[in-house]
Amino acid sequence: MIEECLVAEFRIEGDDCPLATATANADAAIDARPPQLRADGNVLIQFSAQPSDELSETLDADDRVRYLHVSHTDGRSNYRCLSKHPCVVHELVNAGFLVESMRYENGGATMRGAVVGYDVLRGVMEAAGRTVGVSLQRVYPLRTDDDEAVASGYELTPAQEESIRVAVEMGYFELPRTVTAVEVADELGISKTAFLERLRRAQGSLFGTMFG
């Protein structure tokens, strides 16, 4: 059994994948789930961003993107599509990198995830060395209190998670309440209605997970 798990963060520059290209052309930031490589060679990617017609049009015009679908929830645009372009991240995944989060911005990407032990890290680094523009930004041991049981994870969107975090930090859930919904919404840069909708959806997800 491996005793130590490491958290690693990689930066990718110069990758010409559709999401990196789109953030360079549309001046947008994209939060993506780890891509899923299908048996037919296509890559299923799911990601979200602030609403942007320019981003949607850029992706739709990219010949490497197929079946682009856009929905809107909690003030963000959620995208799903297939890509015919192989992602650099697959090279690292094949070497043992367990991707947890990906953020594309300014034509590049930051990936955060885990590697199980230093031997695996060395293999991932060798794979990164064979890939153009991949560099290790930082690595540190995963503390036992940093990890949570898989069954206790909550399906929150990045916007919902941010709304709850800011609300907690500002004292929205304190008794008596120290800030109003309007003040939290202003801090988030959204309307009161959007904040309350995010909060209700997040609470529904949390309570649904807790009570089945």
What domains are there in the chain, each with its CATH number?
6-144 (no CATH), 154-211 (1.10.10)
Q: Give the torsion sign (CA, 83, 87, 89, 93).
A: positive
Per-residue pLDDT at 154 exceeds 70: no
Check residue 111 and report its DSSP letter: E
CA distance to 40, 169, 182, 186, per residue, from 176 (Å): 56, 15, 16, 20
Q: How far apart, in whole angstroms, are the C-alpha atoms of residue 163 and residue 76?
A: 13
Q: What is the pLDDT of residues 118-151, one digit of tens each?
A: 888 889 888 888 877 888 888 888 765 555 544 4
- pLDDT at 185 (0 to 100): 92
Q: List phi, psi (to 5°) of 63.
A: -65, -20
Check residues 47 and 87 and name the one with the higher pLDDT.
47
DSSP code for 146: G
DSSP labels, 9-74: EEEE-S---HHHHHHHHHT-EEEEPPPEE-TTS-EEEEEEES--HHHHHHHHH-TTEEEEEEEEET
Residue 30: closest CA among 50, 9, 12, 10: 50
Q: Give the mean model confidence (pLDDT) for residues 16-22.
A: 88
Beta strand 6-12 with 108-115 is antiparallel
> How many residues are given for the chain?
212
Alpha-carbon distance 2 to 4, whole Å?
6
Predicted confidence (pLDDT) per residue in 176-196, tens digit: 888 999 999 999 989 999 999
**What gap in Å lies between CA 161 and CA 174, rounded to an integer?**
18
pLDDT digits (tens, 9 = 90+) for 95-110: 888 888 899 998 889 9
Neighbouring residues of 164: CB distance < 8 A, sequence distance ≥ 6:
156, 199, 202
Nearest to 86 by CA among 134, 38, 129: 38
Each residue's pLDDT tens digit, 158-176? 788 888 888 888 989 888 8
71 contacts: CB under 8 Å, gap ≥ 6: 77, 78
Q: Given the structure tokens 């890290």, which residue do they identify?
A: 121
Place of tokens 């372009």: 85
Q: Which residue has the higher pLDDT, 147 or 61?
A: 61
